């Protein structure tokens, strides 16, 4: 009887060891949870095509610096002087133009500043499937100065408002005319294989 009892204990111990071993193997085979995908990792999956509204090709002119305005008042409260301009790092103001039927260019904003522009380049206004409006520039040799200077960091700033209110442009982007796009403030820069973009609306 002792031998049978010893036999049962031995078999039981072997079975327990086999179950523990099999369980530990299965634990190792369980799928490993991948880290959550960040926006930078999914950037190539932005739904460029098909695009709901379309693409508007624009010529952009950019003034470097940060916009400032200093107003000096007289003792009676009237304005003595106004000093304004652009200095420092950033994009002080942007002007966008579309090509018209005669081959010339017209502004896509009713507000045009008289700044001397530091560089110009080609850009695209794009509406994606999820309704975002992007300002994208391609990294091409003829666009290099504008591309490098406009996207000067991972976060860029446009300090003077660029108001896109041209009816045809808004119509192509499927935005109502009374829903103008105001581009001002800080924007995160996203990278693609052929260029960079910011989300402006």
How many C-beta atoms lie closer than 10 Å to residue 127's C-beta? Answer: 20
Q: For 138, which DSSP code?
A: E
Sign of the CA dihedral running 47, 51, 53, 57: positive
The reported pTM is 0.70
pLDDT tens digit at each of 201 positions of the chain = 444 454 444 444 444 444 444 444 433 333 333 333 333 333 444 544 445 667 899 999 999 999 998 999 999 999 999 998 888 889 999 999 998 888 889 999 999 887 789 999 999 999 888 888 999 999 998 899 999 999 999 999 999 999 999 999 998 888 876 689 999 999 999 998 889 999 998
State how far the alpha carbon of 105 is from the alpha carbons of 51, 138, 199, in Å.
25, 20, 24
CA distance 133 to 129: 10
State both tokens at 106: 């017209």
């Amino acid at each position: 009887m002792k031998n049978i009892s010893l036999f049962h204990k031995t078999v039981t111990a072997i079975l327990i060891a086999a179950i523990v071993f099999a369980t530990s193997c299965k634990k190792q085979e369980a799928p490993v949870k991948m880290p959550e995908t960040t926006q930078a990792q999914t950037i190539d999956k932005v739904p460029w095509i098909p695009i709901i509204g379309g693409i508007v090709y624009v010529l952009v002119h950019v003034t470097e610096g940060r916009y400032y305005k200093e107003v000096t008042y007289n003792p009676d409260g009237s304005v003595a002087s106004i000093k304004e301009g652009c200095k420092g790092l950033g994009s002080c103001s942007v002007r966008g133009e579309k090509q018209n039927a005669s081959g010339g260019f017209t502004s896509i904003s009713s507000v045009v500043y008289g700044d001397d522009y530091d560089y110009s380049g080609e850009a695209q206004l794009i509406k994606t499937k999820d309704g975002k409006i992007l300002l994208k520039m391609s990294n091409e040799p003829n666009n290099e100065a504008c591309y490098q200077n406009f996207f000067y960091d991972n976060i860029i700033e446009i300090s003077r408002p660029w108001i896109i209110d041209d009816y045809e442009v808004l119509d192509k982007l499927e935005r109502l005319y009374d829903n103008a796009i105001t581009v001002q403030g800080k924007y995160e820069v996203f990278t693609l294989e052929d260029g960079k973009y910011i989300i402006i609306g």
